[in-house]
Structure 1
């Protein structure tokens, strides 16, 4: 861009269409729309703006800088847009989250008989870091992308990566892993981006056996172990429950970047090891690495799950006063969660009024409601719930939490009112399910599940195990069960929760002393938490549970969370 400005000012050489179509991508790359407009105006003045290469470069510039309307106007003025112009606008819509328009344009392209290339596919599914939070495509868009991918006679590395990354970023983790497996079957060698995206999918699944398989492929293919691949490995081991292995890999890294540190700090928080997370944060500062906004989120999360209230306050103050970060929604949510878990509900509520308005969303009020559930504050829970019903009227979870709180306080008419309101809105509770891997095979259980081939053996074993648990002091906690059923039926309802079935299946199908690992899609309930502590004691097994918010390591009747979750 500087060279272009010097050229125009000198006047010794006249820019042509090639000059403009070279400088516009540079402006797009740094999102300098003002410079882009100046080049556009210069092109109009010199009669160069109608050249198809210049128009395509302008479409790309405006789209990447967020002005999709201007990009579309330029596209519509083209007599016969070529594939490159289509790709530029499809990519622009995708990066701006306008996925419907992106797919519509892709369908137009196919209807007109233009043959999509790997560049089209990459435009449709922008490839981002597996640690990013962008959710740029939806399920129907991934289906369209897959059809385009399958129709390609020759698939480039770009197109494989776009599909695997697209699946991983959109939570379609099984499809991401299946596509990677297909890639292996076809002997297509992966590159570091393929590996990072696949590891991200394994991390989301919690599939340790798959993650280890990918790790072996890294060694087998002699792939470059760059910082992104190693960080993805750490993230996978953290989220699959192997915090020790994650730390071993972290310690052996030669060139750690701030993301590597953040992933490891966050990992300790996820496993309830707040003190270790804070120690690592101090080591990071001692290594003269500047923390990012994500670093502070990891630290606050760790403090929240470890009950480290004062340490969390210090980190939050340091983030704003020393490092100049403006707290985002997630930071504020963590602070409310930190105070709420510690029983400082009034303080948490007062803190919300001090937050910037932009940071007060469902996460903040949801954290307060969850804390009210733990500490049985029905009045404040009602206030938080009203805010949440306004912000996210379709979220069933808030109705379930409030109803359970009323039930636990024996306020049955209020609980019935909440359930009736959810029913009138036709809201359906997310069913709980638990995954366990035995060998390399995953098994998924629902509450009261009778579909598994070993179902009779599982229930028979669970009956015997429950007898031993009761002898060891276990008493079913039926507090959150439906209030209008008999106590005996309540006990049966909690007895067949999905995690109990998964644990019983794991105990039946593994050798004594083998570690049991399960993954629950919802937060583990109080009864299952108490039951798992007792099971770990009577069976002498280590049981690792990953629920919707953290890991629990049960050993000898004690949980690593210290009953603080």
Structure 2
């Protein structure tokens, strides 16, 4: 029989057990291996095995236990100290990593070429340039700065802490520049939004270096071109040719980067070709293709890609679901969005902050602010995007008071700070709700309170805020005093306000500026023409229409659509092509009689100005949103809100009519035009007639 001592595992076997615990990321297995070490070898645990134990606890994110073991080590070596520093750095405990690095130096143990990269990584993550310089000095004294890995880590640290001149000096002085060093330069330039530096470094790499680009190099180049979009489209397309010639086209990571590049450069069809050519796709491939379609406004194709992924057996991830929710928001497809919410719940990712934020955004953009509120309240954690989605949803619905209240709650909570998007949402809500003083206060204090410089969007919000409140002259003076050149949105806000309040001469000035900035936009010409027509200035209105015809500008047709049982029904003004047209016309005639009995009078200023009065009444009564509404009343059962989307702004007469109809039929009617949502119920609209 074998002796009892022969069954005791040896140090090498125990070391293998400790390493297996690290590989399995199992603290329970690691503690069991530690107990076996103590039972088998204590008190004479070999030094190398003690180092293994320190490494295990550090890697499994138990630095306190690792440090305690190290303190009982009779003579801790550089291996044990490096294991502790590396474990802290790998698990994101960067202050602890630097603290243990400092203890190591005080203990008189010189760091090695594995220790210094971990310390540089901690300095970079903490954006601590002063400490990084000290670590660099220690590397110089140790004679290790010439080591390629130490040098690359120092280079990366200087880049991430904003010391570009030091980073360039390190790079220039490196005796050996391997591909890791070149990649560090390029990836950090991408993070700093410096595409020129990325392209220049790549050209320099190809001309002067023996190193050959790898997947990281090529992805960095493509990311830089994607960030710069049109400016670097041809550079990215040329790199695509290099990728094909160099045999990298089968690399899924590079394929995904190409999809992202073409998507951001408004080439979704080319992105699809790249996607179809990838032989072995991963979940990033599918998500990238979905996002490429979403970014280019082709949401139907985006949802088609998601459906294709599900058919091929891919499980919905948080990024995939949040991307698809963006398609639902773009399509204002509430039923589709609710289906995706159910998918998120079944996949146990509905409380993920990214999915939750996308859900809040989707419900807000689909006109269901109650669902947006409930989703927001149910989230265990919220980030800036979540708050922006909620405030933006309130703004689109015209709930100015609720938007301001949510903004105040966000500020008082102190967990997240607002960015420029937050302030655009708040100011937009104030504009749509008539909260002039509150909106101006946000604008006037944004730099002092939040450290945010005003963007063009903020200036446009101020013009809209003043213009809607009937202060067009003040808005014009504000534009003239802007420190930056007014944009299309700024002049467009002024023109819309002038149309609303009948300020003809000022409206002409705004329109002329818009014609200079965007001569092809038919909407500005139509708005100016209608402004003249509503004031009875027919000759000027006709002249604007004639100018449109002379330069070949065509007005796109207005249309409205309504979804029922997964089918979209589209209507244009005076449309008679729908299969149920007879029922629709009968329903409209009945509604017309009941509205007139309730006191409704058509406002013919919103009809074409070259028609007789009786014909004008017929025009406004057959606008596309009314046809869609009649269909909804015929097909959608009582109790279910009728949701209509229109590609143009709802005219004043239809707005008035829809309020009457909501009381007559006792239904909630929700209309999403190209500017905002209108919730009609019991002869009232959520906008308070201020839109």
TM-score over 0.5 (shorter chain):
yes
Match of 1:178 among 304, 313, 320: 304
Distance 1:18 1:25, change over 3 A: same
Q: What does 1:330-479 align with in structure 2 at a 5 Å threshold?
A: 330-358=457-485, 360-479=486-605
**Which residue of 1 is the match for residue 395 of structure 2?**
269
Shift of 1:242: 1.0
1:115 and 2:241 equivalent? no
2:204 is equivalent to residue 74 of structure 1: yes
Q: How far apart, in 2, do the equivalents of 1:29 and 1:453 lie?
A: 63
Deviates more, 1:462-471 or 1:390-399: 462-471
Please tell me whether the aligned partners of residues 350 and 356 of structure 2 are also in contact (alpha carbons under 8 angstroms). Answer: no
Residue 222 of structure 2: aligned partner: 90
How big is the shift at 1:379? 0.4
Q: Distance in 2 between matches of 1:472 and 1:296?
A: 42
Cα shift at 1:555: 0.9
Query: Taking structure 1 as reference, are residues 181 and 32 closer, same or farther at Cα in structure 2, changes over 3 Å only?
Result: farther
Taking the aligned partners of 1:379 and 1:337, their CA distance within structure 2 comes to: 18
Quick one: which of 446, 454, 461 aligns to 1:319? 446
In structure 2, the CA distance between the partners of 1:72 and 1:533, relative to structure 1 (3 Å rule), is: same
Distance 2:227 2:159 in 1: 13
Structure 1 residues 352 and 14: CA distance shift in structure 2, 3 A: closer
Q: Secondary structure at the match of 1:554?
A: strand
- Aligned partner of 1:131 in structure 2 is none
Q: Is this contact kept in 1: 2:136–2:154, CA < 8 A? A: no
Which stretch shifts more, 180-189 or 470-479?
470-479
Counterpart Cα distance in 1 of 2:296 and 2:410: 31
TM-score (normalised: structure 1): 0.90
Match of 1:130 in 2: none
Q: Larger deviation: 365-374 or 548-557?
A: 548-557
2:364–2:372 contact (8 Å) kept in structure 1: yes
| Alignment partner of 1:518 is 2:634 | no
Question: Does structure 2 conserve the Cα–Cα contact (< 8 Å) formed by 1:55 and 1:74?
Answer: no
* Structure-1 residue corresponding to 2:684: 558
Q: Cα–Cα, structure 1 residues 18 and 459, in superposed 2: closer, same or farther, change >3 Å?
A: farther
What is the alpha-carbon distance in structure 2 between the residues aligned to residue 504 and residue 491 of structure 1? 17
**Which range moves more in the overlay, 282-291 or 178-187?**
282-291
Cα 1:473/1:116, change in 2 over 3 Å: farther
Q: Distance in 1 between matches of 2:536 and 2:292?
A: 47
Shift of 1:283: 2.2
Task: Tell me the equivalent position of 1:132.
Answer: none
Query: What secondary structure, in the 3-state scheme, does the structure 2 residue paired with 1:317 have?
Result: helix
What is the aligned-residue RMSD (CA, Å)? 2.6
Q: 1:213 aligns with which of 320, 323, 339?
A: 339
Structure 1 pair 236–76 and aligned structure 2 pair: CA distance change class (3 A) = same
Cα 1:464–1:23 shift into 2, 3 Å: farther
User: Aligned partners of 1:343, 1:137: CA distance in 2, in Å?
Assistant: 40
Output the TM-score relative to the length of structure 2: 0.74
Structure with greater helix percent: 2
Over alpha carbons, which structure has the higher Rg? 2
User: In 2, are the aligned partners of 1:121 and 1:162 still within 8 Å (CA)?
Assistant: no
Local SS of the residue matching 1:496: coil
In 2 relative to 1, CA 260–14 (structure 1 residues): closer, same or farther, beyond 3 Å? closer
Distance 2:658 2:478 in 1: 35
* 1:329 is the counterpart of 2:453: no
1:301 aligned to which of 405, 408, 428: 428
Q: Which residue of 1 aligns with 2:412?
A: 286
What's the secondary structure of 1:506's corresponding residue? helix
Is contact 2:258–2:274 with CA below 8 Å preserved after alignment? no
| 8 Å CA contact 1:75, 1:85 repeated in 2 | no
Question: Quick one: structure 1 residues 562 and 21, their matched pair in 2 at CA, closer, same or farther if it must change by over 3 Å?
Answer: same
Q: Secondary structure at the match of 1:168?
A: helix
Contact 2:606-2:620 within 8 A present in 1 as well: no
Shift of 1:301: 1.0
Q: CA deviation at 1:63?
A: 5.0
Q: Is the 8 A contact 1:95 1:126 kept in 2?
A: no
Q: 1:539 to 1:60 in 2, by over 3 A?
A: same
1:101 maps to which residue?
Answer: 235
* Structure 1: segments with no counterpart, 5+ residues: 128-134
Partner of 1:10: 141
Distance 1:285 1:90 in 2: 38
| Distance across 1 between alignment mates of 2:170 and 2:592 | 75
Determine whether 1:38 maps to 2:169: yes
Deviation, 1:21, is 5.3
